[in-house]
Amino acid sequence: MEYEVYDGEIPGLALRVNPSGRKRGSITPEQARRLAKERLAEVTRCGEPAGDRRRARQAPNMAALVDRYRKEHLAFKKASTRDRADGLFMRILALHRSHRETQVEANRAVTLLSGIFTWAEDGGVVLLQGSPCCRVKEHAECRHERYLSAQELGRLGVALARADEDGTELQAAIIAIRLLLLSG
């Protein structure tokens, strides 16, 4: 006959023992007490643990979440942002598993994922543990300075002269670029 042994510390917490003497579950009494206290705190804060579990089961999986994010949020972004995001979606999981990718791109992937989870939380999608991105430590990024080569400077000069002659660009923009070239 199955019976229950009640905990002396937490009211209502019990251990079920099978007729064979085997105990159900694989956690220690300390772990069970900690979990019971957490659930009690949830209920005290007007939580609904059973409802939370049901909503978590009904929450979309990652593929469905990304698909909704693309349709409902990313569709309104610039084309360059959408293109970059589409490329990152395909590699997003591998970026932090592998060190073959650049650290900057790995950071951009975390930023994109963080945006997805923030959007999902704002839209009412239940994420009981919050965004997993908040725990990802970003890689350090080094700022790089790049200077135009002599060949690139020549091509820029020709393009500026052409734009100046045919009037396709604002005169102020052409002057500003020339000033930046001279002053750095």
Give per-residue pLDDT as tens, 98-127.
644 566 777 777 788 888 878 877 777 766
Q: In this predicted structure, what is the pLDDT of residue 123?
A: 77
pTM of the model: 0.33
Q: Is the predicted pLDDT of residue 155 greater than 90, yes or no?
A: yes
Q: Binning pLDDT at 50, 70 and 90, where does residue 20 land?
A: confident
**Beta-carbon contacts of residue 180 (< 8 Å; ≥ 6 apart):** none
Mean pLDDT calculated for residue range 76-95: 77
Q: Binning pLDDT at 50, 70 and 90, where does residue 16 land?
A: confident
Q: In this predicted structure, what is the pLDDT of residue 97?
A: 52
Phi/psi at 140 (nearest 5 deg)?
-70, 140
Tell me if residue 23 falls in helix, strand or coil: strand
Alpha carbons within 13 A on the beta-carbon side of 117: 16
Q: Binning pLDDT at 50, 70 and 90, where does residue 166 land?
A: very high
Which of 19-23, 104-108, 136-140, 172-176: highest mean pLDDT?
Answer: 172-176
Q: In this predicted structure, what is the pLDDT of residue 3?
A: 79
CA 182 to chain centre: 42
List, in sequence order, the alpha helices (H) in the chain: 29-44, 49-58, 62-72, 79-97, 103-122, 150-166, 171-183
Question: How far apart (Å, rounded) are the C-alpha atoms in residues 62 and 65?
Answer: 5
Q: Is the predicted pLDDT of residue 59 greater than 70, yes or no?
A: no
Write the burial class of residue 109 (CB in 10 Å: 0-12 exposed, 13-18 middle, 19+ buried): buried
Q: In this predicted structure, what is the pLDDT of residue 161?
A: 92
Q: Binning pLDDT at 50, 70 and 90, where does residue 158 land?
A: very high
Question: How far apart (Å, rounded) are the C-alpha atoms in residues 66 and 137?
Answer: 22
